[in-house]
Structure 1
Amino acid sequence: MSAGARPRQSDEDQPQVPQVTIDALQRSLAGEHAALWAYKMALAFVPPDWAGRARSDIEAHTTLRGQITQTLSDLGQRPVSAQPAYAPPQPVVDAVSAGALLVSAETDTIAAWRSVAERSSSVPLREAALKAMVECTGRLAYWRGVTERSPVVPVFPGRG
């Protein structure tokens, strides 16, 4: 998933990636789509001092989504599409519930990235998944902190 390492495009030269890895990448992409939807919804409810962070997090998830999309395309796979809308775990009516939605979104993306790391033997994919998990955990810690959830960093992020 790095910009410099691109698989060749002929069918004979396609790297052999197990279906379980492809499925994990697709779930991770679906999670990134959902996270972006959640962040865009939350922007309508968060106070100005949280909004800058939310916009930065949107950029980060947009980058991850693009990387996964490119990786799947390079592997000859059709990336899953975003849904038109998602069902939040609870109604979003204020800043705290918007923050809770973002906690849920980050928790889900960490779990999806953990699945990629567990289901891939490719070192670059595992490294990318670990990097994404660390970055998502940082975002999760911020949103847990501003919504006064304890602990700010849960034990074993990404473990259900």
Structure 2
Amino acid sequence: MSALDAAQAALAAEHAAVYGYGVVGGRIAPDRKAEATAAFEAHRARRDALRRTVRDLGGSPVAAAAAYRLPFSVDDPAGAVRLAADLEDRVAGVYSDLVRAAEGPLRAEAAASLREAAVRAVRWRGTGVTFPGLAERV
């Protein structure tokens, strides 16, 4: 996978995460609303940075879809927490691909994004995984 392809995949995942956190924000318990808002803002910032990265790599940034299919129904705060953890796992997976494909500053940025997603997933889930970004590939 080229760095451009991996960056496009990461951008697509960030678009989906921004959408997903809109759903999370609508169902999350009030005591975790600030955490959901911070994650939403972090994914928006990463999305915007990846748009620039894709252009810098000579590509045309992939557009967001009008809507995304959720992996399961989110009907209550527990479902919102579960969705948030799932979103972070998915984002970590694409950033692990970008770490493998990129070099230099882009690789360092991808590693930082992978780490941030893994930390957010642990906060949402309450437990971690041995190799963040690779767990869903097993």
Q: Report the TM range for the smaller structure's normalisation.
A: over 0.9
| The one of 52, 59, 63 aligned to 2:45 | 63
Structure 1 equivalent of residue 129 of structure 2? 154
CA offset at residue 75 of structure 1?
A: 2.4
| The one of 123, 129, 138 aligned to 2:119 | 138
- Answering whether residue 104 of structure 2 is matched by residue 127 of structure 1, we say no
- The separation in 1 between residues aligned to 2:99 and 2:58, in whole angstroms, is 20
Over the matched positions of the two proteins, sequence identity in percent amounts to 33
CA offset at residue 92 of structure 1?
A: 0.7
- 1:74-108 Cα offsets, whole Å, 9 max, x none, are 22211001111111111110111111111111000
| The one of 27, 30, 49 aligned to 2:9 | 27
TM-score, reference length from structure 2? 0.94
- 1:2-46 Cα offsets, whole Å, 9 max, x none, are xxxxxxxxxxxxxxxxx7211110000000000111101111111
Q: Which has the higher helix share?
A: 2
* Superposition pairs of residues 3-152 of structure 1, within 5 angstroms: 20-120=2-102, 122-145=103-126, 152=127
What amino acid sits opposite 1:154 in the alignment? V
- The separation in 2 between residues aligned to 1:131 and 1:26, in whole angstroms, is 17
**Long gaps (5+) in structure 1:** 1-18, 146-151
Task: Classify the secondary structure of the residue corresponding to 1:91.
Answer: coil
- The separation in 2 between residues aligned to 1:43 and 1:72, in whole angstroms, is 28
Following TM superposition, where does structure 1 have runs of at least 4 consecutive aligned residues deviating by more than 4 angstroms? none
**Long gaps (5+) in structure 2:** none
